[in-house]
Amino acid sequence: MEPTAYAMLALHRRAGAGTACDRAWRLLSSWQLSDGSVRPSGAVADGTWVTALFVTLAFVRGVNDANVGRAVERLLQVAGAEHNLAMRTFSYFHLLKTKLNVSHEGWPWRDGNASWIEPTSLTLVALKKAAATHPSSELALRVREGEALVLSRRCSDGGWNCGNPNVFNYDLPSYPESTGQALVGLQGRSESELAVPLGAARRFRTETKSSLAKAWLGIALRCHGENPSGPVEEARVAPDIMLAALESLAHPDGNYRLLKTEERA
Amino acid sequence: MNRRKFLIASGAAIGGTYAGMKLEQKPEKVPDGPSGSSAVSILRARSYSEDLASRIREGIRQCGLDVGGKRVLLKPNLVEFDSATVINTDAAVIVAALEAFHSLGASEVKIGEGPGHRRDTFDLANDAHYRASIPQFESLFTDLNRDDVSPVANFAGEARFYFPNTVLAADLIVSLAKMKTHHWAGATLSMKNFFGIVPGAVYGWPKNKLHYIGIPESVVALNRQFRNTFAIVDGIVGMEGNGPIQGTPKPAGVLVMGRDLVAVDATCCRIMGIDPEKIEYLRLAADLGHVHAARIEQRGETVESVHSNFALIKEYEYLRLA
């Protein structure tokens, strides 16, 4: 699902790509289950976080049918399992030796698990795109909560890792790719809230050797109106479809705009 | 419902929450393992420039493993990269294992890993010098996070659980682990190294489903699922302190090998000055292999001759071997 979804975004409205994108959309649509969720591949029976990618793609393609509506509903039904009464009670009485904030609802990789940065950020993009055609107080609340969760899980060095900034009072470092993903999900938040992480993203982009991280950071910075320069602009073809698609999205002329979510839910 | 089950049920299995609870538990006697005993080979290797392939061949011979005609999957521990410490199985150990298993008649030797936190596996492999050091790395290596998958029934109480086809197709999975302390499990050795065979593309980064099953329970379930295994633990330079990522290098100068991964990990713990009977996944795995020293036939060096206490974070000081 992921390589196909990102390739579809990268190829959207590119000359000669229409037939391939239509075929890919039919394939991804065939992976949707009756509960609205979408499977990560034809070999897997249950839906996962890739439902968010399906919703984003649907709105990029201008599709807003009942199946998309069910997928949006599914995203609204799913929440990280750590946000429950027992955990909030533990946290309130300081019974957890952790700095993890469990007071906000985000999204898990799989239903029944805890919230993490990537699935939450991808779902924020999907729901912000859905807000125009599926407006509801519930959707707006989930977006606010999801953003609050991402903000609460920032690492002490300014960026984000998978979603766990501290273990046993030892601060954990952030990851450049997670920082990019989080910033994509946080589009629309105030400059003051994002000044430090945007600074971290700029720094990471010059320091990291990871092509995947450079791509996500490029997408994030461009979505936030910046025009980063550097090695990612060099012409190259990544050996991996998903990476090639993300690098294409991050290019100055790339389709990173499709992940922009300027309007607030 | 005990505290662990309650915490898991209540959603406390997100890293940094569940494991943040007080960990000490009443020591109970670990049950005897299967009948008989297990051979574990401890071989000295003071640096990665020594002839490691000969040592691995010697360890395989001492443990009575027949690799002839087998499709072998080497599963290193590739987690993150930090040039200031030693997080990953050293590339020299992988190169040596490739040579050793080929020379002993394996029909195929591949490498597979699915890092638990980082998605750019090939970038990690680059940083860890795997791509530069391992001949034909690209053609030998499979990113297990993104491999095609097939379902397995009744794994850890799950009706369906997905594993990479590369793993399911192997006749022998070799856990090429790193000797490290671990801030969730106490120590990460050959058994916990199998977390990397769970596909991220199905379960995410981290593989949070395993946290909900329970970290020790998942370690045991993975080792119960995959029984055609062999362990080679890279303790030439291990990690002490706040492992598995932020600890400091600890030269122990050994390779530890065996067919019984429980016995290998128990032996590694004793080398590290950790009481294996206090490591929960070893306690839970007592029916799979031998934890008790009396049931482990030490080949090569003795534990006493290579023992060197690994520093422990204060939350795990109670694990120290008396």
Q: What is the pLDDT of residues B148-201, one digit of tens each?
A: 999 999 999 999 999 999 999 999 999 999 999 998 899 999 999 999 999 999
Measured between CB atoms, does B293 come within 8 Å of chain A?
A: no
Per-residue model confidence as pLDDT tens digits over B53-104: 999 999 999 999 999 999 999 999 999 999 999 999 999 999 999 999 999 9
Q: Sign of torsion, CA A43 A48 A49 A50?
A: positive
Instruction: Parse chain A into domains and list their residue ranges.
Output: 2-259
Specify if B56 maps to a domain: yes
Does pLDDT of B8 surpass 60?
no
Does pLDDT of B7 surpass 60?
no
Q: pLDDT averaged over chain A? A: 92
Measured between CB atoms, does B246 come within 8 Å of chain A?
A: yes
Q: How far is B137 from chain A (nearest CA, A)?
A: 14
Give the pLDDT of residue A239. 73
Q: What's the pLDDT band for A98 if we cut at 50, 70, 90?
A: low
Q: Where are the alpha helices (DSSP H) in B196-292?
A: 200-203, 208-213, 215-225, 261-272, 280-284
Give the pLDDT of residue A115. 96
- Could you give the number of structural domains in chain B? 1
Q: Going by C-beta distance under 8 Å and a sequence separation of 6 or more, which residues neighbour residue B244?
A: B79, B87, B178, B180, B181, B182, B183, B188
Q: Do B17 and A49 touch (CB under 8 A)?
A: no
Q: Do B118 and A177 touch (CB under 8 A)?
A: yes
Give the pLDDT of residue A253. 94
Q: Using alpha carbons, select from B159, B288, B295 the residue that is nearest to residue B220.
A: B288
Give the pLDDT of residue B19. 39
- Number of C-beta neighbours around residue A144 at 10 A: 14
Residues in chain A within 8 Å Cβ distance of B206: 116, 162
pTM of the predicted model over 0.90: yes
Does pLDDT of A233 surpass 70?
no
Q: Do A118 and B204 touch (CB under 8 A)?
A: yes
Does pLDDT of A265 surpass 50?
no
Which of A120, A162, A178, A214 is most worth mutating to test chain B (most B CB atoms within 10 A of its CB)? Answer: A162
Specify if B219 maps to a domain: yes
Q: How many whole angstroms separate alpha carbon A255 and alpha carbon B158? A: 40
Q: Which of A84, A162, A213 sits opposite B205 (nearest CB)?
A: A162
Q: How many whole angstroms separate alpha carbon A120 and alpha carbon A112? A: 14
Specify if B115 maps to a domain: yes
Return the structure tokens found at B125: 């492999």
Residues in chain A within 8 Å Cβ distance of B87: none
Q: Which of B22, B120, B184 sits opposite A211 (nearest CB)?
A: B120
Per-residue model confidence as pLDDT tens digits over B104-134: 999 999 999 999 999 999 999 999 999 999 9
Residue with tokens 């393609």: A61
Which of A49, A101, A109 is most worth mutating to test chain B (most B CB atoms within 10 A of its CB)? Answer: A109
* Interface contacts A/B by beta carbons within 8 Å: 140
Q: Do A211 and B123 touch (CB under 8 A)?
A: yes
Give the pLDDT of residue B231. 98
Q: Using alpha carbons, select from A12, A39, A93, A32 the residue that is nearest to residue A255.
A: A12
Q: Do B162 and A109 touch (CB under 8 A)?
A: no
Measured between CB atoms, does B183 come within 8 Å of chain A?
A: yes
Q: Going by C-beta distance under 8 Å and a sequence separation of 6 or more, which residues neighbour residue B180?
A: B87, B187, B188, B189, B238, B239, B240, B243, B244, B247
> Residue B322 to residues A33, B273, B282: CA-CA distances in angstroms?
55, 8, 18
Q: Which of B21, B117, B242 sits opposite A96 (nearest CB)?
A: B21
Cα–Cα–Cα angle for B225, B264, B109, rounded to 5 degrees: 60
3-state per-residue secondary structure call for chain A:
CHHHHHHHHHHCCCCCCHHHHHHHHHHHHHCECCCCCECCCCCCCCCECHHHHHHHHHHHCCCCCHHHHHHHHHHHHCCCCCCCHHHHHHHHCCCCCCCCCCCCCCCECCCCCCECHHHHHHHHHHHHHHCCCCCCHHHHHHHHHHHHHHHHCCCCCCCECCCCCEECCEECCCEHHHHHHHHHHCCCCCHHHHHHHHHHHHHHHHHCCCHHHHHHHHHHHHHCCCCCCCHHHCCCCCCCHHHHHHHHHHCCCCHHHHHCCCCCC
CATH number at residue B187: 3.40.50
Specify if B14 maps to a domain: no
Give the pLDDT of residue B20. 40
**Residues paired with B158 in a beta bridge:** B155
Residue, of B175 and A262, whose pLDDT is higher: B175
Helix or strand run (H / E) with residue B163? strand B158-164
Specify if B19 maps to a domain: no
Cα–Cα–Cα angle for A42, A54, A29, rounded to 5 degrees: 50
Measured between CB atoms, does B14 come within 8 Å of chain A?
A: yes
> Residue A234 to residues A6, A8, A120, A202, A214: CA-CA distances in angstroms?
20, 22, 31, 18, 12
Q: How many whole angstroms separate alpha carbon B106 and alpha carbon B101? A: 6
Specify if B255 maps to a domain: yes
Cβ burial of A105 (10 Å; 0-12, 13-18, 19+) is buried
Domain that holds residue B200: 39-319
Q: What's the pLDDT band for B1 if we cut at 50, 70, 90?
A: very low
Which residue of A lies nearest to B143 if distances are taken between CA atoms? Answer: A240
Specify if B54 maps to a domain: yes
**Do B185 and B202 meet the contact criterion of CB atoms below 8 Å apart?**
no
Q: Do B202 and A162 touch (CB under 8 A)?
A: no
Specify if B22 maps to a domain: no
Q: Do B149 and A87 touch (CB under 8 A)?
A: no
Residues in chain A within 8 Å Cβ distance of B16: 98-100, 164-167
**CATH of range A2-259; options 3.30.360.10, 3.30.870.10, 1.50.10.20, 1.10.490.10:** 1.50.10.20
